[in-house]
C-alpha cells in the first residue's frame, strides 16, 4: 500500500487548507507534520527539502512538492478532478485562479492591523458579491448542470464550496442573492447537487467528508489571536 501524503505546514488554515479540502473530497487520507516553531522551519530549510525555502510542502509519491497550486494540480490529476481534456482543464484553472484571488484576501486579512482589517473585510465581501459570486452564478445558469465543468466534480467545484464556507463565516447572508450557489454551498446542505457514481448520495454523507466537517477533524478552525501570534513567530513577520 502506498504511503499517505505527508503535509508540512503550521497548524493553521493558510495555503494548505485548500489542499485539505481537495483530498477530503477525493476521500484520500493524509498525515500532517506540523511546524510549531521557527526552529522547525529552519530545520526543513537546512535539510534542503524546501526548493524555494518556504512551505507548504507535501511528501508524496517519492517527491517533495512545494507551491500550493502545483500541489493541488498534482492531486487533482491523480484523483480525476481535473477534467477530461485541455479545454476542460483550462476552464477549471480559470475558475480556480479566480477563487484563489479571493481566497488570498481571506488568508491574509486576519494579520492586518485594526482599521485595515475591517476595510479589507468590507472589500472582500464587496468583491465576492459583485465580482466572483455573480460570475459563478452565471456559469451554473448558462449550462444548467450540477458542476462547473463537464458535469463532473472538479477541483474548481471544491474550491468554490470552500470559498463559500469562508465567506459565510464573515457574513451568513452573503449568498442571499445567489440561489444556485446557495444550492451548491449552503452551510447546511454541503454539495446539495453533487452526486456520486450516478446515485443520489450526497457527498456530505461520505465518511471522509463527514469526518472533515466535524470538530476535531483535519479541517483547521478559524484563525484566532493565539494562532496569529504563533504563525508570526514561526515565519518571523
State the pLDDT at residue 184.
76
Peptide bond into 60 cis (omega under 30): no
The CB density around residue 84, as the number of other CB atoms within 10 Å, is: 12
Quote the cell numbers at residue 85: 481534456
User: Taking the domains of the chain in order of start, what are their residue ranges?
Assistant: 6-79, 86-213
The CB density around residue 181, as the number of other CB atoms within 10 Å, is: 22
* Best CA proximity match to 103, nearest among 163, 173, 55: 163
Gyration radius from the chain CA atoms: 18
State the pLDDT at residue 185.
54
State the pLDDT at residue 27.
87
Per-residue pLDDT tens, the chain, 237 aa: give them: 568 999 999 999 999 999 999 999 898 999 999 999 999 999 999 999 999 999 999 999 999 999 999 999 999 999 999 999 999 999 999 999 999 999 999 999 999 999 999 999 999 999 999 999 999 999 999 998 888 999 998 999 999 989 998 999 999 999 999 999 988 754 334 443 343 333 333 444 456 666 777 777 788 988 999 999 999 999 998
State the pLDDT at residue 217.
79
> Model pTM?
0.88
Quote the cell numbers at residue 55: 512551505
What homologous superfamily is domain 6-79 in, according to CATH? Glutaredoxin (3.40.30.10)
> Any residues with CB less than 8 A from the CB of 59 and at least 6 apart, and which?
5, 6, 8, 65
State the pLDDT at residue 218.
84
What class is the 86-213 domain?
mainly alpha
State the pLDDT at residue 99.
96
* Best CA proximity match to 101, nearest among 80, 76, 128: 128
CB of 29 within 8 A of CB of 3? no
Amino acid at each position: 500500500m502506498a504511503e499517505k501524503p505527508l503535509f508540512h505546514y503550521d497548524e493553521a488554515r493558510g495555503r494548505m487548507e485548500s489542499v485539505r479540502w481537495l483530498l477530503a473530497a477525493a476521500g484520500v487520507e493524509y498525515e500532517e507534520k506540523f511546524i510549531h516553531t521557527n526552529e522547525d522551519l529552519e530545520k526543513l530549510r537546512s535539510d534542503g527539502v524546501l526548493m524555494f525555502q518556504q512551505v507548504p510542502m507535501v511528501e508524496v509519491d517519492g517527491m517533495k512538492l512545494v507551491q500550493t497550486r502545483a500541489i493541488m494540480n498534482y492531486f487533482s490529476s491523480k484523483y480525476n478532478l481535473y477534467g477530461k481534456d485541455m479545454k476542460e482543464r483550462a476552464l477549471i484553472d480559470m475558475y480556480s485562479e479566480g477563487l484563489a484571488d479571493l481566497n488570498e484576501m481571506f488568508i491574509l486579512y486576519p494579520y492586518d492591523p485594526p482599521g485595515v482589517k475591517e476595510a479589507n473585510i468590507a472589500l472582500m465581501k464587496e468583491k465576492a458579491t459583485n465580482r466572483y459570486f455573480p460570475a459563478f452564478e452565471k456559469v451554473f445558469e448558462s449550462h444548467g448542470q450540477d458542476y462547473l465543468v463537464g458535469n463532473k466534480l472538479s477541483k474548481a467545484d471544491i474550491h468554490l464550496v470552500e470559498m463559500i464556507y469562508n465567506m459565510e463565516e464573515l457574513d451568513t447572508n452573503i449568498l442571499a442573492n445567489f440561489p444556485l450557489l446557495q444550492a451548491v454551498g449552503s452551510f447546511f446542505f454541503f454539495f446539495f447537487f453533487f452526486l456520486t457514481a450516478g446515485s443520489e448520495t450526497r457527498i456530505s454523507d461520505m465518511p471522509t467528508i463527514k469526518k472533515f466537517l466535524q470538530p476535531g477533524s483535519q479541517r483547521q478552525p478559524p484563525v484566532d489571536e493565539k494562532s496569529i501570534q504563533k504563525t508570526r513567530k514561526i515565519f518571523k513577520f
